[in-house]
Amino acid sequence: MSWVSKTLSSTLGQKVLMALTGLFLILFLVVHLAGNLQLLFPDGGESFNKYAANMANNPLIRVVSIGNFAFILIHVIYSIILTKRNKQSRPVAYAVTKPSTNSAWASRNMGILGTIILIFLLVHLKGFYYEIKFGSVPMASYDGEEYKDVFAIVANAYSNILYVAFYVVSMGFLAFHLSHGFASAFQTLGLNHVKYSPLIRKVGLGFSILIPALFALIPLVMFFQNQ
Amino acid sequence: MNLTLKIWRQKNSADKGALKEYKISNISEDMSFLEMLDVLNEELSEKGEDPVHFDHDCREGICGMCSLYIDGKPHGPQQTTTCQLHMRSFKDGDVITIEPWRAKSFPVLKDLVVDRSSFDRIIQAGGYVSVNTGGVPDANEIPISKSIADLAMDAAQCIGCGACVAACKNASAMLFTSAKISQLALLPQGQVERKIRAEKMVAQMDAEGFGACTNTGACEAECPKGISITNIARMNREYFSAIASSDNV
């Protein structure tokens, strides 16, 4: 076995893959949110539709988006490999456990939280990514140029109260996933320091509340605008 | 005080095992937890029954031999070794569940006794210094700061009891392995074998079948010696800098 495959099959190597892909996806969340907040601009979706067209046509964004899908896949695959190993490491369970006395709930349930987020992601991709890329999309025209009216598709989806509720609840699960994942990624990468670790934990907690809250705000606002 | 004990009884490693209930009375709150078990075993012996097997040695909290998963926590409700746990931590009428450490890499030998030789093999893989470091050096002769020496000593406090593995939901041995890697990586004497040590000890830890760390921090919270998970971050740094720069292809 070469040193590369040996490292990637070690628990530490696999953990680092989880941390690096996780941190990339955290970065992606920020970019994604920045774009999505344009949905709330009071211009009938013009800036959002122009942004969406730009994202779809920019070759750099295309490359990053392929990388993004690959990183999601790596994050999921290695979480399955690691979770399987971790379960096998304790074949006989304890009769009595008191896990809440020594660790946070989110830290112990990253697999369940991740699975819920993955289900959300599949519904999300089917509803928007797939529809916009391969479905029939109404067109909007600004200054004589034709754009896919992505805003109309989003607004239509967010007029359904169940869909909005699904989004808001999913963001709650994302918040818990991030509340552990953000700081945990730095620890896994060996970045633990008396000066920076408390700061990373605070920033991570703030991030895990703020970003999902803003994501959840968009469908809520658009739902009530439609009423 | 009078207590009900639910104790894991298992004849040998092949036996399936089960929790068995025992009543015990007239226990003094000044007794240590192990002395309470001694009383139980005396009663069992007098009745001609097989006494409960459990590991113990120094009973001073420094050897790392005692174990026991008491009421859902390794070494019981206090952050100490089981031998330093006293019956004043319990109250009359309590039902106390006592289980062995649970991990694939810590197979049960009998009752509450588990085989922790997987830890020995991790140490044998690299937890040593094989260069000649001479006799006891004069004070301040070794070029090392107090703060670094303190960190090394903190890591060296690990007694290898396995509570970290028992507490971890993944039965991961990373707190133990990282403490052993850290105590030597921080000291000048450990530099010669620094890279190969990190690579070999991590490889042995994986080969023993321990789980991976998910940074829950349960190990640190339950460790009777207060070993910090900053050691795990250091182990990760040591391992990856070794992988990236050593000449072991």
pLDDT tens string B193-223: 999 999 999 999 999 999 999 999 999 999 9
Count of structural domains within chain A? 1
Helix-helix angle B194-207:B230-245, to 10 degrees: 110
Q: How far is CA A139 from the centre of its chain?
A: 28
pLDDT tens digits, one per residue of A27-72 = 999 999 999 999 999 998 999 999 999 999 999 999 999 999 999 9
Q: How far is CA B130 from the centre of its chain?
A: 25
pLDDT value of residue B169: 97
| CATH code for the domain of A81 | 1.20.1300.10
CB within 8 Å: A190 and B105: no
Range of the domain at A91: 3-226
Which domains, ranges and CATH numbers included, belong to chain B?
3-110 (3.10.20.30), 117-245 (1.10.1060.10)
Question: Which of B99, B171, B232 is the closest to A95 by Cβ?
Answer: B99
Q: Does A1 score more than 80 pLDDT?
A: no
Mean pLDDT estimate for chain B: 96
Asked if B80 contacts B73 with a C-beta cutoff of 8 angstroms, the reply is no
Neighbours of B245 (CB within 10 A): 8
pTM: 0.94
**Rounded Cα–Cα distance for residues B182 and B187 (Å):** 9
Q: Does A204 score more than 70 pLDDT?
A: yes
Q: Does B179 score more than 80 pLDDT?
A: yes
Within chain B, residue ranges assigned H as helices are: 33-46, 117-126, 146-156, 163-167, 174-185, 194-207, 218-222, 230-245
- Chain A within 8 Å of B239 (Cβ-Cβ)? yes
Mean pLDDT estimate for chain A: 95
Q: Nearest-CA neighbor of B235 among B183, B181, B191, B199?
A: B181
Q: CA of A190, closest CA in chain B: separation in Å?
A: 4
Asked if B112 contacts B93 with a C-beta cutoff of 8 angstroms, the reply is no
Question: Which of A3, A180, A183 is the closest to B243 by Cβ?
Answer: A3
pLDDT tens digits, one per residue of A63-112 = 999 999 999 999 999 999 999 999 999 999 999 999 999 999 999 999 99
pLDDT value of residue B248: 83
pLDDT value of residue A133: 87
**Rounded Cα–Cα distance for residues A168 and A218 (Å):** 9
- Chain B within 8 Å of A68 (Cβ-Cβ)? no
**Rounded Cα–Cα distance for residues B190 and A12 (Å):** 22
The predicted model gives B89-111 an average pLDDT of: 97
- Chain B within 8 Å of A141 (Cβ-Cβ)? no
**What are the DSSP calls for A9-30, one per residue?**
HSHHHHHHHHHHHHHHHHHHHH
pLDDT value of residue B141: 86
- The secondary structure of residue B193, as a DSSP letter, is T
